[in-house]
Amino acid sequence: MIAVVMEKMALETAQFVLNTTEVTPSARARLAVALGSESGGENTARRLVGVEYAWASGYLFHRPIGDLLITEMMMESNRSGEWRRHAINPLSPLVYNTRRTINLYGDLTADLAELAAHREFKQLDQRMSEFMQHEGQMRFKNLGGSIVVSAAVPAYAKVVETFWKAEDLRLALHARLQT
């Protein structure tokens, strides 16, 4: 999100400069080349969502549930966190199925990536809500996975909406510089 907001701010700044200042033809040409890269659009929106899954799958895989629930921050603020983490970790094979959790999250990510690519912001929130209602419920078979997934999934709608605003601004600036 930070990178998307920074990109949008940079594009707004470039637009402001073009609106208020005389820009040399060589500077305009360099800006046009930078804005004209094929790095945006639907595929970038998909990657924006997919990157989170790539990070999460690496983070979640082969980690016991206590390590995920009792974070370093909790241990710093409450010294009892360390013993709790060690007490919960042996329960991992009984309450946390990492493969099932990562597969569920992957299915959700695939759905969200397609919605993001097609600018369906309201459907992003709706799909997240449906997922939490169905998969985020506490279940005996993968209780730990339900807890982890319900806590780990970011709110994508705002990020994707900001991305598309920045993308539209980039394309408009590029078209403006082509004339």
Taking only the tens place, the pLDDT of each residue in 116-151 is 999 999 899 899 888 877 776 666 677 777 777 777
CA 179 vs. chain centroid, Å, equals 35
State the Cα–Cα distance between residues 72 and 88, nearest whole angstrom: 15
> Between residues 171 and 73, which one has the greater pLDDT?
171
- In this structure, are residues 143 and 91 in contact, taking their beta carbons and an 8 Å threshold? no
pLDDT of residue 152: 66
pLDDT of residue 21: 93
pLDDT of residue 79: 63
Residue 113: partners with Cβ closer than 8 Å, 6 or more residues away: 45, 46, 49, 50
State the Cα–Cα distance between residues 167 and 172, nearest whole angstrom: 9
- For the ranges 17-21, 87-91, 108-112, 160-164, which has the lowest average pLDDT? 87-91
- In this structure, are residues 176 and 50 in contact, taking their beta carbons and an 8 Å threshold? no
Predicted confidence (pLDDT) at residue 67 exceeds the cutoff of 60: yes
pLDDT of residue 27: 93
- For the ranges 74-78, 95-99, 135-139, which has the lowest average pLDDT? 74-78
Say if pTM beats, i.e. exceeds, 0.85.
no
State the Cα–Cα distance between residues 85 and 61, nearest whole angstrom: 17
Residue 170: partners with Cβ closer than 8 Å, 6 or more residues away: 7, 11, 35, 40
CA 30 vs. chain centroid, Å, equals 31
Predicted confidence (pLDDT) at residue 49 exceeds the cutoff of 80: yes
pLDDT of residue 80: 63
